[in-house]
Structure 1
Amino acid sequence: MKPPYTISPSILNLVASISLKIGEASAHYLDKKSPQLRKANRIKTIQATLGIEGNTLNESQVQAIDEGKLLLGFERDQKEVQNAIALYARWDEFDPSKRASFLNAHLLLMQGLVTNPGEYRNRSVGITKGKTLTHIAPPAERVSYLMDDLFDYVARDPDPLLIKSCVFHYELEFIHPFLDGNGRMGRFWQSLLLSKSHPIFEFLPFETIIAASQSAYYQALAKSDACAQSTPFIEYMLGVLDQSLANLLNTTNVVLSETERIEYFIFIGMKDFSRKDYQRVFKNLSTATASRDLKKGVELALFSTYGERNATRYRVLM
């Protein structure tokens, strides 16, 4: 059965805006290799999706764990990060249309954190905010049926995948199929669903926007609960995806390290350039810092040079 929602003018406008940005972002990011930026976005995704659920580790600490370092005094938080890193590392192994794949993802994400990872809950649950009960999930005996119905909707319904992925995210939160890990599974599975048609979503850290606007996230869920349809949540999530794509297209406005700037510049595809060309990409960069970046690129054998002084030009060697 199709979950209840209405395709509003706001939804149609956001789908159109996102579709345009998908084309532009894919042309920039998928036609060229940029492993460093992609890895950085994956770290952002993991830190944000866990932070929404109360994990206290910052991006630098998540990166340290990704590099194999151990942190003292953060046992559960560190285990959550290790599990998420393992989950995202196996991204290509998951089939977003398969229940078995979904349960296996939960197993990886929650092993060592809950009693029965990879299994649907076997008892009733209620969601509270503080001391207030905000949502009573469907009975445990209905979970398997409801999830199968949800997977069938995603596979068969003709509505755009952008919309269906938001519906899946909301309905998963509503059904609450697991005792724990539902929020991070909803965000992971929405990314996975979208990436099968639009690979750019594998590298889109939209969770950072949710983390920065958690009250709006939970309000959208509550509004959808109140009106018994996912329309408010679809509008919210499409807005998040639209903003996240806009941020990705404005990567040059993000504070990057020296190596990240060099990596990004190579990534955008300019083969022969001057220092001024480099500064046009990184508009807030001083002349001295740009010169140091380019010198570093030459030392790393990423650039060659020709010409002298103000007429010096650079060629990408990769």
Structure 2
Amino acid sequence: MKPPYEITTKILELYGQITEALGVCKSLLLVKPEARLRRQNRIKTIYSSLAIEGNSLNIEHVSALIDNKRVAGPKKDILEIQNAIAAYDHLNQFKPHSIKDFLKTHDILMAGLVENPGRWRKTQVGIFKGKELAHIAPGFRMVPGLMQDLFEYIKNDKDIDIIKSCVFHYEMEFIHPFEDGNGRMGRFWQTMLLMNVNPIFEYIPIEETIRNHQREYYKVLSIADKSGSSTLFIEFILKAINSALRNTIEESKIPRIGYRERTEHALSLLDDWFDRKEYMKTNKGISTATASRDLKQLLQDGVIEAEGNRRMTRYRKK
């Protein structure tokens, strides 16, 4: 059965903008961005998707764990990141229309975090926002059939595939097929479906845009639940896809410069105390991980001094 939604003028306009952006990607030969941008965007994707779920570690921790470095932090949060890294490393090995691969992905993402990873839930669940019951999911006995119907829809329905990926994202959240990990699974599998449209989506951090508009994300989910239609959610996610695509296009145009050029340029502009964010503004397009490495090296070389701790750290030329 086809899930309830309408193809609105806004949806068609956003789809047209996304198609245009994909054309720009093709003209820039961005079918597979350079290694720097691929790595940077993968870090953004993993960090953002888990931050939405309340993971306390920052983007530098994600970068370090990708490099197999040790980090300090809650074991659960570290394991969530390690599992997500493993899952995203398998992106090209999964089939977007395979329920078996869908369950296998949940197994990888949630290994060591829940009792039965990779299996449909066996209990009734309600979703709370604070003390308020926001959503009562369908009964657990309905889950296998509902998920089978949803996979049949994305495989066989004639609607636009990019729109169907948004519908899948919403309907999976509504069904809530797992005891935990539904949010990250919905976002992960939408990436899988989008990659089936264009391989560039493997490297587009849509999750970052969602995290930056997290309150609206939950709001449109709630409105969709109450209205019985995913139309507003589709519009929201299409807007996020379009924004993430265009951000990636802009970042790809930024010329890559080395450590020496970056730091000399930055320090020529920063006369007083500055923080990492202000350093990044002097070299538009560098990642937070690159900025952190630059500042650490400058400290070790005795070029700058620092005061404060962690996010409150400020720097100054000696």
Task: Tell me which interval the TM-score lies in, with the shorter structure as reference length.
Answer: 0.7 to 0.9
Compare 20-29 and 152-161 and name the one that shifted more.
20-29
Q: What amino acid sits opposite 1:140 in the alignment? A: F
Identity of aligned residues (%): 46
CA distance in 2 between counterparts of 1:95 and 1:135 reads: 30
For residues 302-317 of structure 1, the aligned pairs below 5 Å read none
Offset, 1:72: 2.4
CA distance in 2 between counterparts of 1:29 and 1:83 reads: 31
**Alpha carbons of structure 1 residues 119 and 31: separation in structure 2 relative to 1, 3 Å:** closer
Offset, 1:196: 1.3
Q: What amino acid sits opposite 2:25 in the alignment? A: A
What is aligned with 2:20?
A: 20
Offset, 1:74: 2.1
For residues 74-85 of structure 1, the aligned pairs below 5 Å read 74-85=74-85
What is aligned with 2:289?
A: none
Offset, 1:246: 1.3
What is aligned with 2:132?
A: 132
Offset, 1:73: 3.1
CA distance in 2 between counterparts of 1:72 and 1:57 reads: 9
Determine if the alignment matches structure 1 residue 244 to structure 2 residue 244: yes
What is aligned with 2:110?
A: 110
Offset, 1:252: 5.7
CA distance in 2 between counterparts of 1:32 and 1:88 reads: 16
DSSP-derived class of the 1:61 partner = helix
What is aligned with 2:266?
A: none
Offset, 1:284: 6.8
**Alpha carbons of structure 1 residues 189 and 257: separation in structure 2 relative to 1, 3 Å:** farther
Mapped contact 1:26–1:200 kept (Cα < 8 A): no
Compare 24-33 and 73-82 and name the one that shifted more.
24-33
What is aligned with 1:166?
A: 166
Offset, 1:248: 1.1
CA distance in 1 between counterparts of 2:99 and 2:229 reads: 23
CA distance in 2 between counterparts of 1:50 and 1:120 reads: 21
Output the TM-score relative to the length of structure 1: 0.79
**Alpha carbons of structure 1 residues 256 and 227: separation in structure 2 relative to 1, 3 Å:** farther
Let me know the Cα RMSD of the aligned residues: 2.2
**Alpha carbons of structure 1 residues 24 and 136: separation in structure 2 relative to 1, 3 Å:** same
Task: Find the structure with the greater CA-based Rg.
Answer: 1
Compare 56-65 and 125-134 and name the one that shifted more.
56-65
CA distance in 1 between counterparts of 2:79 and 2:256 reads: 28
Offset, 1:255: 11
Q: How many matched pairs? A: 265
After superposition, what is the alpha-carbon deviation per residue over 1:159-210, rounded to whole angstroms, capped at 9, x for unaligned?
0011100000000000000010000000000011010121110000010111
CA distance in 2 between counterparts of 1:212 and 1:136 reads: 26
What is aligned with 1:37?
A: 37
**Which runs of no fewer than 5 residues in structure 1 stay unpaired?**
263-282, 287-318
After superposition, what is the alpha-carbon deviation per residue over 1:204-247, rounded to whole angstroms, capped at 9, x for unaligned?
00101111110100011011111101001001000101111111
CA distance in 2 between counterparts of 1:68 and 1:133 reads: 40
Mapped contact 2:11–2:238 kept (Cα < 8 A): yes
Offset, 1:257: 6.8
**Alpha carbons of structure 1 residues 285 and 232: separation in structure 2 relative to 1, 3 Å:** closer
CA distance in 1 between counterparts of 2:283 and 2:197 reads: 36
**Which runs of no fewer than 5 residues in structure 2 stay unpaired?**
263-280, 285-318
For residues 191-206 of structure 1, the aligned pairs below 5 Å read 191-206=191-206
**Alpha carbons of structure 1 residues 32 and 104: separation in structure 2 relative to 1, 3 Å:** closer
**Alpha carbons of structure 1 residues 76 and 254: separation in structure 2 relative to 1, 3 Å:** farther
After superposition, what is the alpha-carbon deviation per residue over 1:44-72, rounded to whole angstroms, capped at 9, x for unaligned?
10000000000111111101011111222
DSSP-derived class of the 1:127 partner = strand
Mapped contact 2:31–2:200 kept (Cα < 8 A): no
CA distance in 2 between counterparts of 1:105 and 1:31 reads: 25
DSSP-derived class of the 1:12 partner = helix
Mapped contact 2:99–2:151 kept (Cα < 8 A): yes
CA distance in 1 between counterparts of 2:216 and 2:43 reads: 23
CA distance in 2 between counterparts of 1:285 and 1:81 reads: 28
**Alpha carbons of structure 1 residues 70 and 98: separation in structure 2 relative to 1, 3 Å:** same
**Alpha carbons of structure 1 residues 138 and 254: separation in structure 2 relative to 1, 3 Å:** farther
